[in-house]
Structure 1
C-alpha cells in the first residue's frame, strides 16, 4: 500500500529546485516526481508487486505531462498492480504516445489542464473557445517550434474578415499566453504571437475605455479570489472606490487619513497643486483602510514596500499584480478604473439631478458628494455580488 502523502500542487512542483543528488517528492497513491540534478522533473510510479518493492516505473517528463494526467496514469498503473500485473510495459507504451506533445494541439491541452486550472469559468471558456474555433483548426497539427508570426497574422486576419477585430486581438493574446507558458516549461524557445503588434490587429482608443458594471464585478471578483498579497487586493479595490490616481494611492501616508470622519486629504505638495484635495470615503473604503491599518507594518505608508525600508511599494507593483491575474476583460488597463468610476458617477449625478457635485467645495455639495460616492461604492458591491453569484453557479 503506497504511503499516504500530502497531494502536490502545480505551484509546488514548479518551485522544486535541483540538489546535489536527485530526489523524489511524493504526491500520493504511488505517484512521485523525481527532481534530477539538471533541474529536469520526471513523473515516476512507486509500487510493490508480489510483496517486493519494484524499481520505479517511469511515467514521463513533467514538461509534457500535467499533474492531472500523471495522477490518472498512476491510478491506471495501480489498478494493474492490484491484478498482479507489472505496469512497466504499459508505462513504456504511454511514454511513446507522449511524444505527440511537441504538436501544438497536445501542448494546448496541457496548457488548459494546468495553467487554466485556477482561473474563472468564464476565463477558461473564452480561452478554450479561441483555441478550438480558430487556433487549433489552423495550426494545431504543427510542431510547437514551427508556428510562425505569419501563422498568427493569418488567423487574426480570418477573424477580422468576420467583422470581429476585437476577437482577433483576443485570440492573438491567447496564443501569446499559451507560448509564454510553453517557454516557461521549456517546450518552446520563442513566442510567435509576441512579435505581432496589437495595433496591427485591432486599434482601441484607450482614452474612452469604460468598464461595464458586469466587467467591474468580474474584475474585482477575480482580484478577490486570486493569490496576490492581501494589501495589493485592497489597493486595487480602493482605486475603484476612491477614483484616486495610482501614484496618489500607493504613496499615501496614514497621516493623510481621518477614518472617523471618512476623509482622505492628499497634500497639495504631492499633487503639485495649489490646494489639498479632499477625498470623501464611502464606508467600504473605510473598512478596507481599517483592515490595512490593523495589519500595518509601517508607521508612515499605507502600502509599504515588503523590503522593510519604510518606503512605499513601487508604482509598477499594482500593474504587475494585475498582469499576473490574466484578467479576462478585453483591452483593460489599470487606469481604466479611474475613468470607469468617473463615467458611472457622472451618470449617477445626472440621474440624481445634482449639479457639479464633483467640483464644488461648498458644504452642502460635500454632503451630496459623500452621498454620491456611497452610492457608487454600493453599486460596485452589487456588481461583485453578481459576479460571485455567477461564479458559484458555474461551480
Structure 2
C-alpha cells in the first residue's frame, strides 16, 4: 500500500532501523534516532542499486515521488543515478578551494577546540588565503605550503611560521578526513625544521617589577593597557582571559572574577579572588569601558575586545629605552608564580591560582580549591607589589602564609 502524509507523520522509531515501502521502488528508512530518509531501489543491468533522495520532512512525499520518477527515467536510459550522484560529489570536492574549505574547517574543527579563534583565524586570513585561497584543495602541493611558511621565516618570525604550519597541517588533516585529499602536503615539512620552541624561564626580579610598572604607567600607551598589564601581574591570569572578560563575570561585592569554561585554557571554570587593589583597577576599567559589556573593549568598538597582539605591542612601547631585559606578557604569570613559591606558598595553592591542571597522582586525588588560601595569597601579593611601587629601595620581604 502506498504511503500517505498521515502515515508518514505517524511513524515512530524502534530499537532497530526499519523500512516502509511506498511504490515503484520508493521507500523510507526509519532510524532509532527518529531520522527518516527517502531511498529509491532499482535494478540496472541485473544489478540491484539504491539511491538516497533526501530526508523527510524536508523532502515531502510529493517531491520524493518526483525525484524517484526522474531517477527512474535515467535508469530506463541505461544510466545509474547512484553513480551519477557520486560523480557529482567528486566533482564538487575537486572544485573546493582552500578559502571555501577553510570556513568549514574553522566551523567544524577549530571552533570546537577553542573559544578564541583570533590567532589561527588571523594566520589563515593574512598568510594562507592570499597565497592559496583560490586554489582547489586537491591541487595544493608541498611547495605551496613551503612558500607560505618560509616567507614568514624569512621575515624573521620563526614562531609565527610554526603557528602557520600548525594551522595548515590541521586543515589538511581534516581535508583527508573529508575525502578531498589522500595525503597531507604539510607532513614533508617537519616542525623541528620550522621552529623549535624553547622553554621560557624569564621571571622578573623585584627591581625589574618596579621598573616595569613605573615605565608602563609613565608611558603614553592607552590607560586600559596600563591597567591590564598591572592586573595580569596581580591576578596571575592569562592574557586571553582578561581580553575576553565581560562585566557579567566580575562580582565586585564578592571581590571575585569568574572565568567561564569557554574562556579557560583548561576547559574548566575558574574563580580569581580579587585583592582590594585589583577591585580598584577593575572599577577604573569599568569607567573606561563606556558602557560596553566587555571589560576591555577594543579601540573604536564596544562589542569587540582588543587583538591579542595589541597588549603585546603596548608592553614593547612601554619598555622602550628602559634598562631591563625583554620579557613577554605571559612572563608576568611566571614572575608571580616564582616569587610566591620562593616565599613559602604551597605549590598546589599557587598552581590553583594560576588555573593550572595539577598532574600525576596528586592531581587525580587533590580536588581542593584552596579558596581561603588563594584569597589571602593574592591580597598579600598585591600588598607587596603596592609597597614595592612606593618604596625607594627594592626590598621584597617574606610574605608567606601567616602561622
TM value normalised by structure 1: 0.43
TM value normalised by structure 2: 0.42
Higher gyration radius (CA): 2
